[in-house]
Amino acid sequence: MDSRPLYFISDLHLSAATPKTYAAFAHFIETTVDDARAVYILGDLFDYWVGDEMLSAPFAQQLSAQLRTLAERGIALYVMPGNRDFLLGARFEAAAGAQLLEEPAAVEALNHRFVLTHGDALCTEDRAYQRFRRCVRCRAVQRFFLRWPMLIRLILADCIRALSRMQKQPYKKKGGDVTLEAVMQLFAQSGASIMIHGHTHRPARHQYDTAVRWVLSDWDFDGGAARGAYLRLDREGIRSISL
Ligand code: LP5
Ligand code: MN
């Protein structure tokens, strides 16, 4: 059995405007995960993604080349789409040497069964967001959107981002967290005893009767309070390690 550790991160929200967070991420990829069997990025690697044509931007080229070094070192890379980068596609996969993971994903490793998800689908009280999500996760809507010129896509994404920002403290309002009902339903449906997700920016370890839910931290070294962390699973179990 391959007993090398697995690493989990999410919510880096990287863009050309986040050089310090990118530097922390580059260090994580170059050094921290050197002993890994696999790295899982559970959504929102990018601040936003409106189609794989974004790969032609120097920032995205640098980032995908960085990610490709994992495959070259024999480390598998799995990327799950988040609510900001669900339009990552096959060209990104090829450029980054990654495998896109559909969510929720069940994974067996080191004698545990995990269920992995970004986390936004679990915020079932956020009805406006769930309506929006159903619309933009519809394949036909995505195909339609991806045929538009890049400039128009960027303008629409900017409008959506502005609307989203106008919500006061989205993670503190009612509906800004996962619901217990959705969490329990996902445990039951997946048969997993460990759940890992991000999105809510409320890093924690929640213990239930027979299951555990780990919530990943977001990363930000460019704005207010510097923060970032990853989960490491090895034969001894899971640990959260802050940067
Ligand atoms: O991202 P975060 O964490 O700050 O907030 C999320 C929810 N917001 C979003 C929007 C993203 O931040 C921006 C997405 C950029 C990529 C766009 C791709 C372009 C569209 C592709 C079409 C195929 O996800 C926020 C949640 C919060 O998490 C907490 O869970 O509350 O939800 C919102 O703010 C959404 C609003 O509630 C509803 C917005 C309605 C916008 C209507 C525009 C319709 C456009 C239809 C497009 C075809
Ligand atoms: Mn998110």
CATH of the domain at 128: 3.60.21.10
Q: Which tokens in the block code for residue 26?
A: 């580059």
Cα–Cα distance measured from residue 132 to residue 114, given in angstroms and rounded to the nearest whole number: 28
How many angstroms separate the Cα of 115 from the Cα of each of 27, 99, 149, 183, 216?
A: 27, 17, 37, 11, 14
Q: Which residue puts its alpha carbon closest to atom 24 of ligand 1?
A: 83
Q: Which atom of ligand 1 is nearest to the CA of 82?
A: 24
Atom 30 of ligand 1, nearest CA residue: 176
Terminus-to-terminus CA distance in the chain, angstroms? 29
Task: Tell which phi-psi region holds residue 43, choosing left (phi > 0), alpha (psi between -120 and 50) or beta.
Answer: left
Residue 1 lies in a domain: no
pLDDT of residue 206: 98
Q: Is the pLDDT of residue 174 over 80?
A: no
Cβ(240)–Cβ(206) below 8 Å:
no
- CA 193 to CA 149: how far, in whole Å? 44
The pLDDT of residue 1 is 75
49 within a domain of the structure (yes/no): yes
Q: Which of 69-83, 118-132, 160-174, 223-237 has the lowest mean pLDDT?
A: 160-174
Percent of the chain, pLDDT > 70? 97
**Average confidence (pLDDT) over 184-209:** 97
3-class DSSP assignment, residue 201: coil
Q: Considering the domain boundaries, does residue 185 fall inside one?
A: yes
pLDDT for the residue 150: 96
pLDDT at res. 175: 55
> Cα of 45 to ligand 2 centre, how many Å?
9
Is 217 contained in some domain? yes
Residue 162 CA, ligand 1 centroid: distance in Å: 9
Residue 238 lies in a domain: yes
Residue 111 structural domain: 6-242
Burial class (CB in 10 A: 0-12, 13-18, 19+), 241: exposed
pLDDT above 80 (res 169): no
Residue type, 236: E
**Cα 59 off chain centre by:** 18
List the structure tokens of 199.
């999105």
- CA-to-CA distance for 88 and 71, rounded, in angstroms? 18
Q: Mean of the pLDDT values across residues 21-48? A: 98
Atom of ligand 1 nearest to the CA of 50: 18
In the chain, % helix, strand, coil (3-state, to 5) comes to 40, 20, 40
Model pLDDT, residue 141 = 98
Is the pLDDT at 53 greater than 60? The verdict is yes
Q: What is the pLDDT of residue 170?
A: 58
Above 70 in pLDDT, residue 212?
yes
pLDDT of residue 176: 77
233 vs 100: CA distance, rounded Å: 20
Q: What is the mean pLDDT of residues 85-102?
A: 98
Residue 53 within a domain: yes
Query: Residue 79, class by beta-carbon neighbours within 10 Å (0-12 exposed, 13-18 middle, 19+ buried)?
Result: buried
* CA-closest residue to ligand 1 atom 17: 157
Query: Looking at the 3D structure of the chain, how many domains does it have?
Result: 1
Mean pLDDT for 78-88 is 98
Residues with CB under 6 A from ligand 1: 48, 50, 83-84, 120, 123, 126, 128-129, 132, 135-136, 141-142, 145, 156-157, 160-161, 163-164, 167, 170-171, 176
Decide: 8 and 194 in contact? Cβ < 8 Å: no
Tokens of 149: 């010129």
> How high is the pLDDT of residue 172?
52
Atom number in ligand 1 closest to CA 11: 3
Residue 171's pLDDT is what? 58
Higher pLDDT, 169 or 83: 83
Neighbour count for residue 204 (Cβ, 10 Å): 11
Q: Residue 162 has what pLDDT?
A: 92
Task: Return binding residues for Mn(2+).
Answer: 11, 13, 44, 83, 118, 199, 201
> Residues marked as binding?
11, 13, 44, 83-84, 118, 126, 164, 168, 199, 201
Instruction: State the pLDDT at residue 173.
Output: 59
Pocket test for ligand 1, best of 10, 44, 83 (most atoms within 8 A of CB): 83
236 part of a folded domain:
yes
